[in-house]
């Protein structure tokens, strides 16, 4: 990114909205875009998917049956969980997740968590507890919050709402690349099928299904670089100095 572009961002910092809600399906690019936006605007970055993952990990590690909704809900209420910015770790993480006094950032990406997280995130009591935590985290300062229901449920008054999408094929390609970079096995058909399965569960669940807020801007990232998408977002009226607005 050019120096001119960076200095334009610096000048706009005082104009940035207090909350930016970003939603969208798995591997749509919302986490990458959200992280970049938070860095350039110097906001907190909160990836709420990591909280549903941490809850799922806790259930698996404590042998709480995933099908037992009341037990998973009670466990959720007891968890000590936080998301904090990266400090000295230099391992490609975008944030650090603490769960009951342990850094679980990478454990959250385990295949067992992938398999069960959609089920856990469909439980009403789990959602109520995590949404409450997310709202109180949003009070820490200006925030870019990423998830499935941020614009619709968690921060319905956020002044900027984005809904990031990409084709299922492209999302599967991105997941494959990510997994390869982490030295993991990849099976294209399996990854694509898993993405489609999670989209179906996340968008058809009874409580807070994944969908764009009525006032969200839908951005398709298929075939586009993160930088190009970031430019589009920063050109929105909400990021322009007050005198430049119509």
* Contacts to ligand DC by CB under 6 A: 26, 48-49, 52-53, 117-118, 121, 147-149, 198, 202
- Cα torsion for 231, 236, 238, 242, to the nearest 10°? 100
Closer CB to ligand DC, 151 or 233, in the complex: 151
Closer CB to ligand DC, 105 or 118, in the complex: 118
148 with 208: CB under 8 angstroms? yes
CB of 3 to ligand DC, least distance (A): 33
Rounded Cα–Cα distance for residues 48 and 59 (Å): 17
Rounded Cα–Cα distance for residues 65 and 233 (Å): 42
Closer CB to ligand DC, 57 or 117, in the complex: 117
Closer CB to ligand DC, 16 or 164, in the complex: 164
Closer CB to ligand DC, 105 or 121, in the complex: 121
CB of 236 to ligand DC, least distance (A): 22
Pairing between β-strand 217-220 and β-strand 143-147 as defined by DSSP bridges? unpaired
170 with 226: CB under 8 angstroms? no
Sign of CA dihedral 140, 144, 149, 151: positive
- Cα torsion for 68, 73, 75, 81, to the nearest 10°? 140
CB of 17 to ligand DC, least distance (A): 19
CB of 130 to ligand DC, least distance (A): 8
CB of 53 to ligand DC, least distance (A): 6
């Amino acid at each position: 990114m050019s120096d001119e572009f960076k200095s334009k961002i610096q000048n706009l910092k005082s104009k940035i909205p207090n909350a930016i809600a970003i939603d969208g399906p798995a591997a749509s690019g919302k986490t990458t875009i959200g992280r970049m936006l938070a860095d350039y605007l110097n906001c907190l970055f909160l990836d709420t998917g990591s909280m549903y993952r941490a809850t799922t990990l806790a259930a698996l590690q404590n042998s709480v049956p995933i099908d037992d909704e009341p037990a998973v809900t009670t466990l959720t209420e007891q968890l000590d969980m936080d998301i904090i910015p990266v400090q000295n770790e230099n391992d490609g993480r975008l944030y650090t997740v603490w769960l009951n006094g342990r850094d679980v950032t990478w454990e959250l990406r385990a295949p067992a968590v992938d398999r069960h997280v959609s089920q856990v995130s469909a439980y009403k009591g789990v959602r109520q507890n995590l949404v409450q935590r997310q709202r109180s985290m949003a009070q820490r300062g200006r925030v870019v919050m990423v998830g499935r229901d941020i614009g619709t449920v968690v921060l319905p008054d956020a002044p900027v709402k984005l809904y990031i999408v990409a084709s299922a094929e492209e999302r599967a390609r991105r997941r494959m690349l990510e997994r390869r970079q982490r030295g993991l096995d990849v099976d294209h058909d399996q990854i694509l099928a898993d993405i489609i399965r999670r989209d179906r569960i996340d968008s058809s669940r009874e409580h807070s299904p994944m969908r764009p807020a009525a006032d969200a801007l839908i951005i398709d990232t298929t075939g586009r670089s993160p930088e190009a998408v970031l430019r589009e977002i920063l050109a929105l009226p909400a990021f322009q100095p007050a005198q430049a607005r119509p």
